Structure 1
Amino acid sequence: MGIAAERAVHEAVATWGLPDFVMKPQVERKGSGVREVGDGLLVAGEVGAIVQVKGRSADLSTADKEARWIDKNAAKATKQVQGTYRRLQQSAINLENGRGRLLCIDGRAVQWVGVVVIDHPKIPEQHPLGVTEGSLPTIVLTRRDWEFLFEQLKTTSAVIRYLIRVETSTEYLGEEPYRYFDLASLDAAVSLTDSNPADPKIEELGTRFSYPLLPMEPAGAQYPSEFGLTRLICEDIASIDGDECTPEMRVEVLAAIDALPIASRVELGSLLLGELNANHESGSIRWRSRTFLPSAPGGYQVSFVVCSVYSEATADAFKAWLMLRHTERGQNENITEARSIAVLLTPRLDDFRPWDTTLLVVEGDFQLSNEQLVSYTALWGKREEHGALTRSLE
């Protein structure tokens, strides 16, 4: 029953999130014995969850005995979470993710939250949950709660950040949806009345939007194709072959995309699909881009670009575009270690697949020469404000 419960919990992540963020349990030697590093870790960039699952068989006893079983196993799982957390703070560890790729995880660079998932066929009504002990905040959920969060948010990053935000368990086991919708209502009210002035330097670079962090209805429910495009792009990136991108770098890129605001994905998907399906003038090359600025200086800048034609010339132009946009960040922040990601989509004319996906990642200060800056700026100009460009590349 325990293994089946663990698989079900992992499948919820892989289905609604990405399997790249699911780390399989790792057994290590400890003295004369062995220890398991979690029933599975979720790591999405700079945030992660240490997950322990406790499952109950169908042979149930009285309500009082089942309540004692829940308390006993929740306490045991919480101690296991704390033990895994202490291990992750000691040194880096190699773990295999859901795609079978080996990653080096430095737990000291991740903001963790503990999660205990209780898979029980009949939770006693209003079963109270006490405050968990330990240095790492740990939340106790039912399996139904866990699946609810992933079905509602549909991104691993959003679920982990939600759990970090709430920090403690609900008063009674199984009441996570009630807490979620209370917070979603508060988020919606704040986003409607948000009047905090934006940094003038940021305002010059584009348009500022205010989104609620938690959607009231399941993410993308009304526009599944548009919302789901981000997931398809991530699947493309996950399947790109080549030695230029290490497994750790690939997962970092996916985490940066996964962390984009949930509410922005429908609009982004609509923009990209509209460009991919548009009829373009013969002989012209059309570009359309959308860039998400980093939430903090030095963070990931994520861009999506659609070009009507893929060729050696457009590939070179795409690289020049990204280098220019990354260099422009240096006007407002230190980019010595900053990274910018750009995903290029180009439509295909066969029935093999609807588009090709190209990924570029740049890092640091290129210190472009004046000649390069003049050349790149002449080609691309200043940042587009949600507009399209038509260029002829000789």
Structure 2
Amino acid sequence: MAIATQDGNTPVIALLRRDWEFLFNQLRSTHAVVGYLHRVAASAPVLGGEPERYYELAAADAEAVPGALDPSWTRRGGQPHSVPLLPAAPAGSDDDEAHTMVRIMLEAWQRVLASLDSLPVGSARTWAVSSSTPWPRSPRPNRAPRPGGCVPSLPGPTGTSSASPSAPP
């Protein structure tokens, strides 16, 4: 991995394709790969030596003592759980089906957010106001509103509603 500093503060990292593929297959997350690259950016560059460096850091992570937990997690009912930042086995190898489900959900949310981000800038206020309008409560306790009955409608391009009318109660 060759590292150079550009303009004094932006690190530039060069990887062989096989090293990128190794890191992504190992971590299965672009965010985790970028975090790893930030972690190793200051170390001596060895182009093509990522698997060796990765496994050295994974071994160090496995032996590390867990740090203090954020108390807000336990207040919300979270359970203390510590795992190495860099797993020795590829991410999801213990339960590929569950890991795949999480990836599918993350990719779906990414598409939703990208769609929202692609809305015309001038419609941002209208969308924000419409989406902050409280949704009606269910008339009966412990029952969800009927489909279509709680979706706020957004004005369409000609001032018409872009959502179908609510279903009758």
Matches within 5 A, 1:335-354: none
Counterpart of 1:312? 145
* Partner AA of 2:107 in structure 1: E
Structure-1 separation of matches of 2:90 and 2:16: 19
The match for 1:166 among 1, 26, 40 is 40
SS in 2 for 1:137: strand
Please state if 1:189 is matched with 2:63.
Answer: yes
Residues 247 and 161 (structure 1 numbering): CA distance in 2 closer, same or farther, change over 3 Å? Answer: farther
* SS class of match (1:208): coil
Cα deviation 1:91-112 (Å, max 9, x = unaligned): xxxxxxxxxxxxxxxxxxxxxx
* Counterpart mapping for 1:224-373 below 5 A: 224-240=96-112, 245-247=116-118, 311-312=144-145
User: Deviations along 1:5-26, whole A, 9 cap, x unmatched?
Assistant: xxxxxxxxxxxxxxxxxxxxxx
> Shift in Å at residue 238 of structure 1?
4.4
The equivalences for 1:105-254 within 5 A come to 132-134=4-6, 135=8, 136-168=10-42, 170-190=44-64, 193-194=65-66, 196-198=67-69, 200=71, 202-206=73-77, 207-240=79-112, 245-247=116-118
**Structure 2: distance between partners of 1:200 and 1:151:** 32
The TM-score normalised by the length of structure 1 is: 0.28
Q: How far does residue 139 in structure 1 lie from its aligned partner after superposition? A: 2.5
**d(CA) in 1 for partners of 2:51, 2:12:** 17
**CA separation of 1:240/1:199 partners in 2, compared to 1, >3 Å: closer, same or farther?**
closer
- Separation in structure 1 between the aligned mates of residue 11 and residue 53 of structure 2, nearest angstrom: 17
CA–CA separation in structure 1 for the residues paired with 2:22 and 2:61 = 18
Structure with higher RCO (Cα < 8 A, 6+ apart): 2
Cα pair 1:188 1:212 within 8 Å, conserved: yes
TM-score by structure 2 length?
0.59
Q: Which amino acid aligns with 2:117?
A: T
1:315–1:220: structure 2 CA closer, same or farther, 3 Å change rule?
Answer: farther
* CA-to-aligned-CA distance 1:340-371 (integer Å, 9 cap, x gap): xxxxxxxxxxxxxxxxxxxxxxxxxxxxxxxx
Letter in 1 for 2:75: E
Query: Once the two structures are aligned, what percentage of the paired residues are identical?
Result: 35
Q: Per residue, is there more strand in 1 or in 2?
A: 1
Q: In 2 relative to 1, CA 219–315 (structure 1 residues): closer, same or farther, beyond 3 Å?
A: farther
Unaligned runs of 5+ in 2: 120-141, 151-169
CA separation of 1:316 and 1:208: change in aligned 2, threshold 3 A: farther
Report how many residues are paired. Answer: 125
Q: Is the 8 A contact 1:170 1:176 kept in 2?
A: no
Gaps of 5+ in 1: 1-115, 117-128, 249-284, 286-308, 318-394
